[in-house]
Amino acid sequence: MPTLSVEYIKHETGEFDEESVFQAILSKRDISRIEAVNQCCNLRWLDLSRNQIIRIENLDGLSQLVSLDLSHNKIQKVQALDTLLNLERLQLKANPISRLQDLEGLRPLKKLRHLHFQNIDRTDFCPICLSPEYRGKVRELCPDLVALDSRRKHLPDLDGEVESVEKGGDLSLPSPAPWFTPDELDFDDVGRPEAVAEALKPQLDDFEAALRECRAAFAEAEGVLKAQEVAASNGGAAS
């Protein structure tokens, strides 16, 4: 079971200096305690999933951290995250978190936008996900959350709609709106030459105006060329 030291982190990330460690993927290492990572002050992405960690700790100093994955560990309580001022994504799937009060550690995460305690299909869930108050509590603690368990905040509850239909409830659908108005479907004038000419008149006017400009430009160019030829012939005669 390795000890999470600065030297270990540098070795695993291939960096020579802890300040140059921006990403640390340390999953499946049998790590039992979070240590030393707070010395990597520029760390942006930290993955400690699938280890043996029992407590969230020693993350102070990681003010640049944007993403933290602690899924598949033995963590029972969300805590010690108050210094992660820029954290936007947190994954805690498949941890034995079971009580609503153990979620209070989420409150300081003002920039948190994506939070995962389970997958979108409800696999790899924490026991807290089974509580009827789970989603409401998380929304209270993190009001600016964009997505919880990969479910967008402002999208309709499709699971609820499906459950309602399966129970024999009425499916409320909006009244269909016509794609085209009656005037748009009136093709009586399409075949008349007058209607075609009228419809094409703006394009024809633009084309004729452009043609006149081209002819004027050609005439001007021809005049310049003739003037140059006359000047050249006069110069030769003088010599």
pLDDT at 160 over 80: no
Inter-residue contact 70 to 48 (CB < 8 Å): yes
Neighbouring CB atoms inside 10 A of 78's CB total 23
Considering the chain, what is the average pLDDT of its residues? Answer: 88
CA-CA distance, 10 to 24, in Å (whole number)?
9
CA-CA distance, 69 to 94, in Å (whole number)?
11
Question: What is the model's pTM?
Answer: 0.67
List helix spans (H) across 86-192.
134-141, 158-166
> What pLDDT, in 10s, does the model give residues 30-87?
999 999 999 999 999 999 999 999 999 999 999 999 999 999 999 999 999 999 999 9
| pLDDT-wise least confident of 13-27, 89-103, 119-133, 207-221 | 207-221
> What pLDDT, in 10s, does the model give residues 179-213?
777 776 666 665 567 766 777 788 888 888 888 99
As a whole number, mean pLDDT of residues 13-29 equals 95
pLDDT of residue 155: 63
For tokens 């992660």, the residue is 84
Inter-residue contact 51 to 27 (CB < 8 Å): yes
pLDDT at 19 over 70: yes
